[in-house]
Amino acid sequence: MKTLVNLNLRAAIVSLLMLLGVVGVWHLATTGGVAATASAHLTPEELEYLEMMGQSPGASRSGGFPGPLEVARTSWGHLSDPFYDKGPNDKGIGIQLAHSLARVGVGFLLAMLVALPLGFLIGMSPLMQKAFNPFVQLLKPISPLAWMPLALYTLKDSNVSGVFVIFICSIWPMLINTAFGVASVRRDWLNVAATLEVHPLRKAFRVILPAAAPTILTGMRISMGIAWLVIVAAEMLVGGTGIGYFVWNEWNNLSITNVIFAILMIGVVGMLLDLMFGQLQKAVTYVE
């Protein structure tokens, strides 16, 4: 236990040093010294143009790219009032993340309701496994965003289309991992259940599900990561609300600082979702 604590402490120190190194390089790359060096290679016309655009080489940023201090100030401004609502194109980051998480949650839940029972069926029946395999192999490699035009045409609603895209990208990892986990349950456990004449439904919940739970949670964890990845791109296409739309809107406003802040928020939320499923996976994993 003490060795594990020491290892975690050393890993945290190394991670902190790496973060400080990245921030330090970022700061040096966007300071006035670098900008002044770059300005030596610019013509007078280019210098005048930069000054007209508010990007003077003598300023504190290089090429207009924001430094870590500017991003930190912007981040504090967003996080200090995350739920403000000043119109369709001016909502707080908390509202944008809530819309994205709601779409991901609904799509993920629908995928789970389909993938888990179907995965049990495929895993317990070699016949169903062979029958479903061609369809899974055909549909699994299709990019979720390729379904977006068809979803918009048939469903006529951008929010529902976004949920559908999350559903279609979340279903395959859960389905495949559930089928694999169910099919990999130790035969002697199933033989004991058969000897005791356990009811099939009871066998599924008391024998197969606990044994396959770690593999099922792995599939759900992968699905959630893919869903959070896809929703950003989907919201850039459908617009309206969401963190993806926030990124696209800020890019159209040429606010690179807000874009960087949104990217950091996407990473933080994705990390928290992954940690949540990681803890669930540990809770259901049996250690001999």
Neighbours of 119 (CB within 10 A): 26
pLDDT at residue 188, as a whole number: 75
Residue 23 has what pLDDT? 84
pLDDT computed for residue 36 by the predictor:
47
What CA–CA distance (Å, rounded) separates 250 from 261?
Answer: 10
Angle, to 10 degrees, between the axis of helix 209-238 and the axis of helix 93-124?
140
Q: Is 100 exposed, middle or buried (0-12, 13-18, 19+ CB in 10 A)?
A: buried
pLDDT of residue 158: 84
Read off the pLDDT of residues 85-112 as tens digits, 9 standing for 90 and up. Answer: 887 777 889 999 999 999 999 999 999 9
Q: Which two tokens stand for residue 240?
A: 């309206």
Single-letter code of the amino acid located at 168: I
Question: So what's the pLDDT on residue 205?
Answer: 76
Percent of the chain with pLDDT over 70: 85
Residue from 81, 109, 107, 82 nearest 96 by CA: 82
The DSSP secondary-structure symbol of 65 reads: B
Angle of helix 68-80 relative to helix 2-29, nearest 10 degrees, comes to 110
Provide the pLDDT for residue 152: 87
Nearest to 26 by CA among 73, 55, 61: 61
pTM above 0.85, yes or no: no
Helix (H) / strand (E) containing 221: helix 209-238
Ranges of the chain with pLDDT below 50: 33-37, 58-63
- Interatomic CA distance for residues 178 and 218, integer angstroms: 9
Tens of pLDDT along 42-57? 666 665 665 555 555 5
Is 85 strand, coil or helix? strand
Q: Token pair of 115, please?
A: 């993938």
Q: What is the pLDDT of residue 131?
A: 92
Would you state the structure tokens that stand for residue 266, as one six-digit string?
């996407």
pLDDT of residue 19: 85
- The confidence score (pLDDT) of residue 118 equals 94
